C-alpha cells in the first residue's frame, strides 16, 4: 500500500488510499478510470485531517469524501471501532449497505464514468458501472442540492453503448428505501428515467437486461 508515493508507484502496488492526500477540488475518479481493477480505499481510517474541499464554496464535511467514494465506486474505509456492528453509525451502515447492493458492478465490473449519461441538474453528479456479465448497469447519484431546491428531473442513458437488450426492470435504491422506475425514451432514442427527489444525497439506479 502506498500513500504519498502512490502517484509514482501505483501500478506496482496492491491497493491505495484514494481520497486523503489530494489537492482541493480534485477528481480522484481519474485513477478509478485509468486503473479500473485497482482497489482504491477512502483513507478515512486515518481520520479527517487530510480531507480537502471537493466543491468550491461549500462547507467541507467528512461525509463529502464518503459520498464521493460511493459515487465513483471506490471502497469504504472507516476509523477503527471496537463497537459491535449494530452500534456503528447508522448513516455509515446504510451507505455501506447501498454499496453492497452495487458490489458486482463496482468491484468486479466496468467503470464507465459519465460516458453515455445525459445532463444532470446543477450540483447533481452521476456515474455508471457495468456488471461483469453485462446483465445489469448501475448509475450512482450524488445530489448536493438543498432539499428545498430539489425538483424532479429526467436522466437519459445510452444503454446500448454499454449492454445489449432492452431493460426488463429499472429501480432506484436510496439509503432508506427502494422504488421502481418507469422506463421512457428520449427524442434521440436513449432511455429516459424520470427521477423524483429522494431523501439523503446518494442513490443508485439499477437497470437489468435479459
What is the SS3 assignment for 69?
A: helix
- Judged against a pLDDT cut of 80, whether residue 119 lies above it is answered with yes
For the chain, what are the domain ranges? 6-80, 109-208
Q: Considering the entire predicted model, what is its pTM?
A: 0.84
Lowest mean pLDDT among 19-23, 30-34, 141-145: 19-23
In 3D space, the residue among 149, 141, 133 whose CA is nearest the CA of residue 117 turns out to be 141
Q: Taking the CA of residue 74 as centre, how many other CA atoms within 13 Å lie in the half-sphere pointing to its CB? A: 27
pLDDT of residue 58: 78
Please give the residue that has the higher pLDDT: either 39 or 91.
Answer: 91
109-208: CATH architecture = Sandwich (2.60)
In angstroms, what is the C-alpha Rg of the chain? 17
Closest CA to 61 of 76, 50, 51: 51
Asked if pLDDT for residue 112 goes beyond 90, the answer is: yes
Share the mean pLDDT of the chain.
Answer: 83
> How confident is the model at residue 130, as a pLDDT?
96
With beta carbons less than 8 A apart as the criterion, state whether 194 and 181 touch.
Answer: yes
Residue that is written with C-alpha cell 436513449 in the block: 190
Determine the pLDDT at residue 2.
43
The three grid cell numbers given for residue 200, joined into one nine-digit string: 439523503
**Helix axis angle, 90-101 to 62-72, nearest 10°:** 10
Amino acid at each position: 500500500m502506498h500513500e504519498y508515493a502512490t502517484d509514482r508507484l501505483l501500478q506496482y502496488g496492491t491497493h491505495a488510499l484514494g481520497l486523503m492526500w489530494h489537492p482541493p477540488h480534485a477528481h480522484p475518479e481519474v485513477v478509478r478510470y485509468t486503473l479500473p481493477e485497482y482497489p482504491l480505499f477512502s483513507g478515512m481510517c486515518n481520520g479527517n485531517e487530510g480531507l480537502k474541499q471537493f466543491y468550491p464554496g461549500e462547507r467541507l464535511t467528512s461525509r463529502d469524501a464518503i459520498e464521493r467514494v460511493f459515487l465513483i465506486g471506490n471502497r469504504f474505509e472507516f476509523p477503527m471501532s471496537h463497537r459491535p456492528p449494530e452500534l456503528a453509525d447508522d448513516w455509515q451502515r446504510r451507505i455501506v449497505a447501498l454499496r453492497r447492493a452495487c458490489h458486482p458492478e463496482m468491484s468486479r465490473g466496468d467503470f464507465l464514468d459519465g460516458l453515455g449519461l445525459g445532463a444532470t441538474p446543477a450540483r447533481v453528479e452521476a456515474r455508471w458501472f457495468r456488471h461483469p456479465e453485462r446483465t445489469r448497469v448501475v448509475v450512482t447519484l450524488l445530489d448536493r442540492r438543498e432539499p428545498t431546491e430539489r425538483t424532479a428531473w429526467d436522466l437519459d442513458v445510452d444503454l446500448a453503448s454499454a449492454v445489449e437488450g432492452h431493460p426488463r426492470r429499472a429501480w432506484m435504491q436510496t439509503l432508506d428505501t427502494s422504488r421502481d422506475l418507469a422506463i421512457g425514451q428520449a427524442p434521440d432514442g436513449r432511455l429516459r428515467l424520470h427521477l423524483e427527489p429522494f431523501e439523503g444525497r446518494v442513490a443508485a439506479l439499477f437497470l437489468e437486461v435479459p
